[in-house]
Amino acid sequence: MSLNAAQSLFWIAVGALFVPMISRRIRVPTAVGELVYGMLIGPHLLGLIAGDAFIDFMAQLGFAILMFGAGMEIDFAPIRKRGSKLLGTALIWTAVAIAAATGAAMIFGIDRWLMLAVCSVSIGLASVILKERDLLGEPLGQAILASGLIGESVSILILTVFYIYSSLGFSPEFFRSLTHFAGIFLLAYLLMRFFRFIIWWTPKKIAPFLESEDPMELGVRLAVALLFIFLAAATFLGVEAILGAFIAGALFGFIFQEREVVADKINAIGHGFFIPFFFIVVGSHFEIGHSFHLLSSDLFYKLLLISIGVKLIPSLLYYRVNLNLREITASGFLLAAPLTLTVAVAEIGGSLGEIDGETQGMLILVAVINGLLCPFLARFFISDKKNEAKIR
Asked if 233 and 184 count as a contact pair (C-beta separation under 8 A), the reply is: yes
Measured CA to CA in angstroms, residue 17 lies from 13, 42, 125, 274, 277 at distances of: 6, 17, 20, 12, 11
> Residue 135: what are its φ and ψ, rounded to 5°?
-115, 5
Mean pLDDT by 10 residues, the chain (392 residues): 82 90 86 88 83 84 86 66 73 90 87 86 78 74 83 86 79 76 83 79 65 69 88 82 85 76 81 87 76 73 89 88 85 85 85 82 85 84 50 34
Interatomic CA distance for residues 85 and 93, integer angstroms: 12
With vertex at residue 275, the alpha carbon angle to CA 238 and CA 236, rounded to the nearest 5 degrees, is 15
The predicted pLDDT at position 22 comes to: 92
Q: What DSSP state is assigned to residue 2?
A: -
Evaluate whether 30 touches 126 at the Cβ level (below 8 Å): no
What confidence score (pLDDT) does residue 18 get? Answer: 92
Delineate the domains of the chain, giving CATH numbers in brackets.
Answer: 3-8+26-383 (1.20.1530.20)
The separation between CA 174 and the C-alpha centre of its own chain, rounded to angstroms, equals 26
Between vectors from CA 254 to CA 249 and to CA 260, what angle results, nearest 5°?
Answer: 75
d(CA 195, CA 200): 8
